[in-house]
Amino acid sequence: MHCRLAIPLLLSIWCSLYAASPCRADAEKLQIDAGFPGGNIVVDKLDGDNVHLHQDLRDTAGDWFYWYFRVRGAQGRTLTFHFTKGNPLGVRGPAVSLDEGKTWKWLGAPAVRGSSFHFAFPADAREVRFCVAFPYQERNLKDFLARFEKNLHLKVETLCKTAKGREVELLRLGRLDGQAKQRVALTCRHHSCEMMASYVLEGLIEAVLADTDDGKWLREHVEFFIVPLVDKDGVEDGDQGKNRKPYDHNRDYAGDSIYASVKAIRERLPQWADGKLRFAMDMHCPANRGNGHETIYFVGGPNEAIWKEVGKFSKLLETTQQGSLVYSSKNNLPFGQGWNTQATYGNRKAFSRWAAELPGVRFASTLEVAYANADGKVVTDESARTLGRDLVRALRKYLAEE
């Protein structure tokens, strides 16, 4: 009699213990990590449905806001993520992907409370990724270039190898027989975290290779030298890149360069240009929200003649743009205003300042593309590509004047 009662009693105790502790069981299955290309996060602690974490700043001087992590084992739960080092969330909240990073959308500001955001995981969502914006890694670039592998107007070469042995891609685009009368240099991701600029570059490349009047004219008259992922190690490792110690890639254009990709650009670009370089543009993203950073703008250097050319190109872009992101020249930042002062650079030199000194250059500037919000317009992968197409439309007119 007592034995028969003991068995159901033990079962009842076991079931009540585990039924009363779903968080304990879920916590054992819940995984949050950055173990993939571009990943960046440090998890401080898990507290039920609350996750406390922060961006990994590793070799960054000061603070910055890049982060990218994945969550597995949270099906059917609603979790709140609390950032413990500052507020690295943008104006449209985090970007979210339900397909292992293939496609992204903004979660939206309503999911955000201060430096926290919440997310209700679908019942079938075995993996969900979150990022400060829409990531862009080597995989994205290779997938994009695969669409044009048979195009005779695009050659994919290796600029150099990084300190960690990765290949830095060099794209030559347009007229490739050495007879181009004008040449254009484009660089992107000197700061590895500034990923939205990569989608602009995609749109630009698409437009040069497109069967349009602008594309045909550029392929007949212009050769492009493009380095899409300057800080390749930082892009793949998930570094901030900005303000890297002792200085970052975009401060490495003075003295002896310490980064292999910058050294290779300084050696190969002038030789390739052969005095025919007319247009040099470095593509970046500013801070991720507020303080005048929610716009698209060009950054000026101290050369007044070149700044006038930037103004001329800006007007062409204003009058020819058709994309969903609206550029306005009133947002341009001349040298000596705002953060764009000599004190910012010290004794270092950025790509655009270095390129402005090359023979024949008319235009040399940095383009800043907002991460999420540009004058009230949403920045996504596709809207960023439309800006790239607009740049090509203006570029054709600008170069045709010569």
Low-confidence ranges of the chain (pLDDT < 50): 1-27
Q: In which residue are the tokens 């004058």 written?
A: 375
Q: Are residues 31 and 146 in the same domain?
A: no
pLDDT digits (tens, 9 = 90+) for 94-116: 999 999 999 999 999 999 999 99
In a shared domain, residues 89 and 169: no
| Residue where a domain terminates, one of 111, 131, 151 | 131
pLDDT at 328: 97
In a domain, 259, yes or no: yes
**Same domain assignment for residues 387 and 324:** yes
Task: Tell me the chain's radius of gyration from C-alpha atoms.
Answer: 24
d(CA 318, CA 39): 37
pLDDT, position 288? 87
Q: Encode pLDDT of 230-269 as tens digits.
A: 999 999 999 999 999 999 999 999 999 999 999 999 999 9
* pLDDT tens digits along 178-192: 999 999 999 999 999
Asked if residue 36 belongs to a domain, the reply is yes
DSSP state of 156: E
pLDDT of residue 290: 76
Quote the tokens at residue 322. 């058709």
Contact between 215 and 174 under an 8 Å Cβ cutoff? The reply is no
Q: Look up the domain containing 78 and give its range.
A: 23-131
> What is the rounded CA–CA span in Å between residue 8 and residue 184?
80
- Give Cα 170 to chain centroid, integer Å: 18
One domain, residues 32 and 108: yes
Last residue of a domain, one of 97, 131, 165: 131
223, two tokens: 């050769």
In a domain, 342, yes or no: yes
Residue with tokens 């470095």: 282
pLDDT computed for residue 28 by the predictor: 53
Q: H helices of 238-303, where?
A: 260-273
Q: In what order do the strands lie in the sheet with 105-106?
A: 31-33, 68-72, 127-131, 95-97, 105-106
CATH code: domain of residue 219: 3.40.630.10
Residue 391 sits in the same domain as residue 325: yes
Phi, psi of 202 (to 5 degrees): -55, -50
Instruction: Let me know: does 402 contact 182? Beta carbons within 8 Å.
Output: yes
14 in a structural domain: no
- In DSSP notation, 85-139 reads SS----TT--EEESSTTSS-EE--GGGEETTEEEEE--TT-SEEEEESS----HH
Whether residue 109 sits in one domain with residue 239 = no
Residue 286 lies in a domain: yes
pLDDT tens for 350-366 read: 999 999 999 999 999 99
Looking at the fold, whether 74 and 105 belong to one and the same domain comes out as yes
- C-alpha distances out from residue 272 to 178, 265, 269, 277, 334, Å: 9, 10, 5, 9, 29
Q: Within a domain: residue 15?
A: no
What's the pLDDT score for residue 183?
Answer: 98
Of the residues 113, 131, 149, the one at which a domain ends: 131
**pLDDT for position 23:** 38
Is residue 272 one of the residues assigned to a domain? yes
DSSP state of 249: G
What does the block give as tokens for 345?
């650079």
Cβ atoms 369, 278 nearer than 8 A = no
* 61 in Cβ contact with 251 (< 8 Å): no
Are 80 and 228 in the same domain?
A: no
Verify that 127 and 142 share a domain, yes or no: no
Which helix (H) or strand (E) covers residue 390, if one does?
A: helix 381-400
Number of domains comprising the chain: 2
Calculate the average pLDDT of the chain.
93
Residue 191 and residue 339 in one domain = yes
DSSP of 184-247: EEEEE-SSTT-THHHHHHHHHHHHHHSSSHHHHHHHHHEEEEEES-TTHHHHHHT---TTBSS-
pLDDT in tens, 168-178: 999 999 999 99
CATH code: domain of residue 100: 2.60.40.3120
Q: What six digits make up the tokens of 166?
A: 């990765």
Structural domain includes residue 5:
no
Residue 53 sits in the same domain as residue 117: yes
Phi, psi (rounded to 5 degrees) for 131: -150, 160
Q: What distance, in Å, lies between the first and last C-alpha atoms of the chain?
A: 103
Output the pLDDT for position 313: 98
Long-range pairs for 330-334: beta carbons < 8 A, 24 or more residues apart:
331/292, 331/295, 331/296, 331/297, 331/375, 332/297, 332/298, 332/299, 332/300, 333/297, 333/298, 333/299, 333/300, 333/368, 334/300, 334/307
Question: In this structure, are 146 and 282 located in the same domain?
Answer: yes
